[in-house]
Amino acid sequence: MRRTALLASATLLAALIPLTTAQAAPDDPAPTPVDRFEGEVPFASPPAEGIFTWGGDTDDPPRLELTPRTDAPEGAHVLSGTYDISGYGGFTHDFAFAEPAHDWSARKGIRFWWEGQDNGRKIAFELKDGGANGEASELWTTSFTDDFTGWKQIEIPFTDFAYRTDYQPVGGIDHILGLTEMWGYAVTLPTGVKGRFAMDGVELYGRADQSLRANVLTDAAVYPVTEGGTATVEVAVATTGSAPLDEPVTVAYETAATGTAEPGKDYTPVSGTLTFPAGTASGATRSVRVPTLKDRGAEAAETVPLKLTVTGAKPPAESPQVVVDAHGLPYLDPRLPVRKRVADLLARMSPTEKAGQMTQAERAAVGATPGDIAAYDLGSLLSGGGSTPTPNTPEAWARMIDGFQLRAQATRFQIPLIYGVDAVHGHNNLVGATIMPHNIGLGASRDPRLAQRTASVTAAEVRATGVPWDFAPCLCVTRDDRWGRAYESFGEDPALVDAMATVVQGFQGASDGRDLKDDDKVLATAKHFVGDGGTEYGSSTTDGYTIDQGVTKVTRQELEAVHLAPYRTAVDRGVGTVMPSFSSLDIVGDGRGPVKMHARADLLTGVLKGRMDFDGFVISDWAAIDQLPGDYASDVRTSVNAGLDMIMVPNAYRDFHTTLVAEVRAGRIDERRVDDAVSRILTQKFRLGLFEKPYADTSGADRIGSAAHRAVAREAAAESQVLLKNAGGVLPLRKDQKVYVAGSNADDIGNQSGGWTVTWQGSSGDITPGTTILEAMRANSGRLTYSKDASAPTAGHDVGVVVVGETPYAEGQGDVGNGHDLELSAADQAAVDTVCAAMKCAVLIVSGRPQLLGDRLGDIDALVASWLPGTEGDGVADVLYGRRPFTGQLPVTWPRSEAQLPINVGDTAYDPQYPYGWGLTTLTAIPGGGEGTLRALAVAARAAERTGAEEAGRAIVGKARLIVQGKAGQDITAAFAKPFADADHLLLTGRYGEAVDRLTTAYRAAYRAA
């Protein structure tokens, strides 16, 4: 039945379904159709015009179809679909990139029919404005609530749309909803529930008028001024479509006596009117000046609200306020010791101000209401993985953080925010930053000094964008390769992780914190305390995770020896913050069973702050207190009493702040516990110099992604390469060879960088500047053929290089069993088979953990564990072509099969494909000798150990290792593997003589096997 027939009979209409229609104004023009869903718009992806779906996981995109419906509000069909979304998902209609953008500036808004399910869920509706095309435009969003049944026409004026602060594919075009270059719309569907929907008749309605499309703006919301100075407030007018004003706009202003400053004493009251005549260009400005008065007293900051009354346009979202800076108080004096400044400030603070310092929110959560920074006295903001400003440039990062810091200046004591990011292998959220190898690759380098240099580069690039705090390093000891965070660890041996804790100095500088105020240092975070690398497979209860955030079951001896050891070193190195793990700890014999780390006072307060004497502060993980048993008040009480000082509550910062204050007032959280937490937080803020310099120091921004920084990453990539097999000396390659290159990871900067790159999960493709392995190889060879799937003819080539491995993932989403395994993809397997059957071949595995090769290993001449080398593929080519020798060693055991997992150095039963510490070399002079040579080396090693000659001791053991590897070849037996792996652990703990003894045992096993 067509809509015309339905409208002919009101009785029949009421009997069929409720149909709610918005009423048009008498003089409104006829609506302009956008989508009628009668087949005029196809299902197609950009750059063609069409409707397409998207989602966070493979099963998150909805299923859409054009469905014939007799009750269709428009025509005979509707767009309908079903959804079951865990992360995020929805659909988009993009206009064709090859056609001009659409001009919607003459219309009042957009409307459409929606079939309500009365589920109370919010549905986001988004517009794409400006830019080059629909996927490079500004996003403007609003939402409506499905709280009705049947068809209803949802009518949204353009003035209801707000600029998205949590995500922009490109951004900073002008932050004005211009409407003259529209590229389409998108719908984001509810998550966490199965549902269906139907939609029809998308159209533009109404006539735009100036009062709706003209806006009065101020250049800031907060104007700090030194006492006695004059604040200048810039007032601007902007129009939708950037057209000149049709009618005049007036702005009456007056200083309001509702602030904390006293008129006539602290400032001179002002009032007046600003006029923007008809014809004024969009963007024109006028100024209001507010003089402040100087007295002789020391004071906290005081506020002077400026009331704006606007005629002919929309007023600013909030009234600006002038802030007379705090002055004369002891905590503001940088000449005083930090402890005295902390004590003075703490004594002045109220319970709500203290609670604010303990609260950390996500930037996107406060983006719509930035006034909450002052209203809740927030102490910290963060960017979660992929939460970036737009455009994603160093300048935009600095502007964003400065804007947040400006808000903190409106608080009584103007305590600066401390902003944090997960820069886990370079400033990885920033496009164009230098992306280092992930930690597992750095562990393979066995080079603590180089690791420290990579952290120094990261710190410099992070601080140059205004970020003073890094949620790194991860000092987890990975014990199971099935863990989705395995690549965040330096390795499976606590001695190796301990050795690489030099990165703390790379981030922070001197262990006493004196360098933290420098423009190239950041506060470091040792994470995830404690035991996150030891969780048992199948123990996780988070989402579809199998191992991440699960349970680590250990004896007290294992806890101390394996998982706690690196944190002792980090604390000794002065690490400023520690982050507990999501996981639970089950200590055998304590009778408590599994207990979430965020609730373990015995470890957070007793061990970390007590026995280890940690003087920094403890920051929770992302919304981790929500995983504690009990109600929300219990979560807050338990975590704070356990020893957490700052709580990462990305979206629930209001609830947390309110609950914390209530718990303290009720006596369930001791005020002394709060004072301890706030003192620790303030100490680090003072050490960072934030009170003197709260805003970004961008003097080092020109070094972000610089040649010097990339040279460090290149060196790290080269040293991280582990040569597992090299039959016939296939590697290094010669520049005169004709090389055939194949495989999914040869030419993919996203894959070789891995997770935590630009976005949380990372992604394949050209996501950030860098050099792929293929591009680097081409720079070394003029005779190179590339065929990703190995479909190009193979004849006539001297050698093949097949670059295979994993695609990006992060955290539990990368757990084996959660959509992942340790096998190469079918396409990668086919590429290896094709190339290695046709010629001598080298296989490079780009991955975050070992990959199982099975029977293919015998057909592969050379095998390289490339890990996740980052953006500098030249480092990989350096060792492939002999510019540098292969020197990397396995930071984890390489298993024969998944059935062996977990398998680690020190295990009683130990029969891997390649043992921990294995790594061939292409040094031109490889040492030779037999047992006699090893006996002599053992004597020299003990002498080095007695005299504390660390470099000599390591060199002696390294020489013995190369002799033993040369004897073993590829015939690695259990009798060989165990003493060989043990030797590397002994080396890292400084027992050089014992290390050579164990290598001698391995040599004998290899001799017998031969």
Residues noted as catalytic? 621, 811
Contacts (Cβ under 8 Å, ≥6 apart) of 437: 425, 445, 454, 713, 716, 717, 720, 867, 868, 869, 870
Beta bridge partners of 252: 273, 309
- The number of angstroms, rounded, from the C-alpha of 161 to the middle of its chain's C-alpha atoms is 27
Report whether the peptide linkage leading into residue 391 is cis, meaning its omega lies within 30 degrees of zero.
yes
Backbone angles phi, psi at 67, to 5 degrees: -110, 130
Q: Is 858 exposed, middle or buried (0-12, 13-18, 19+ CB in 10 A)?
A: exposed
How many C-beta neighbours within 10 Å does residue 850 have?
24
Question: What single-letter amino acid sits at 153?
Answer: Q
Please state, in angstroms and rounded to a whole number, the distance separating the CA atoms of residues 991 and 982. Answer: 11
Please state, in angstroms and rounded to a whole number, the distance separating the CA atoms of residues 852 and 844. Answer: 13
SS3 684: helix
Please state, in angstroms and rounded to a whole number, the distance separating the CA atoms of residues 597 and 580. Answer: 6
Is the distance from CB of 566 to CB of 475 less than 8 angstroms? yes
Please state, in angstroms and rounded to a whole number, the distance separating the CA atoms of residues 80 and 259. Answer: 53
CA atoms within 13 A on the CB side of 319: 19
Please state, in angstroms and rounded to a whole number, the distance separating the CA atoms of residues 904 and 446. Answer: 17
SS3 211: helix
Please state, in angstroms and rounded to a whole number, the distance separating the CA atoms of residues 112 and 179. Answer: 18
Please state, in angstroms and rounded to a whole number, the distance separating the CA atoms of residues 811 and 821. Answer: 14
Is the distance from CB of 832 to CB of 804 less than 8 angstroms? yes
Report whether the peptide linkage leading into residue 979 is cis, meaning its omega lies within 30 degrees of zero.
no
What are the E-state strand segments in 737-834?
739-742, 784-786, 799-805
What per-residue string of b and e applies to 702-715 under the rule 16 or more CB within 10 Å gives b?
A: ebbbeeebbebbbb
Please state, in angstroms and rounded to a whole number, the distance separating the CA atoms of residues 419 and 378. Answer: 11
What are the tokens at 868? 């996740």
Is the distance from CB of 594 to CB of 585 less than 8 angstroms? yes
Question: Considering only CA atoms, which of 429, 655, 543 is closest in space to residue 191?
Answer: 543
Please state, in angstroms and rounded to a whole number, the distance separating the CA atoms of residues 613 and 578. Answer: 13
Could you tell me whether strands 149-157 and 214-218 are parallel, antiparallel, or unpaired per DSSP bridges? unpaired
Backbone angles phi, psi at 386, to 5 degrees: 85, 0
Is the distance from CB of 981 to CB of 945 less than 8 angstroms? no
Report whether the peptide linkage leading into residue 732 is cis, meaning its omega lies within 30 degrees of zero.
yes
Please state, in angstroms and rounded to a whole number, the distance separating the CA atoms of residues 141 and 454. Answer: 39
Opening angle at CA 857, ends 923 and 822, nearest 5 = 105
Is the distance from CB of 507 to CB of 455 less than 8 angstroms? yes
DSSP secondary structure string, 865-896? EEE--TTBHHHHHHHHTTSS------SS-B-S
How many C-beta neighbours within 10 Å does residue 670 have?
12
Residue found under tokens 């792929």:
772
Residue found under tokens 């903190």:
408
Please state, in angstroms and rounded to a whole number, the distance separating the CA atoms of residues 143 and 160. Answer: 9
Please state, in angstroms and rounded to a whole number, the distance separating the CA atoms of residues 478 and 489. Answer: 6
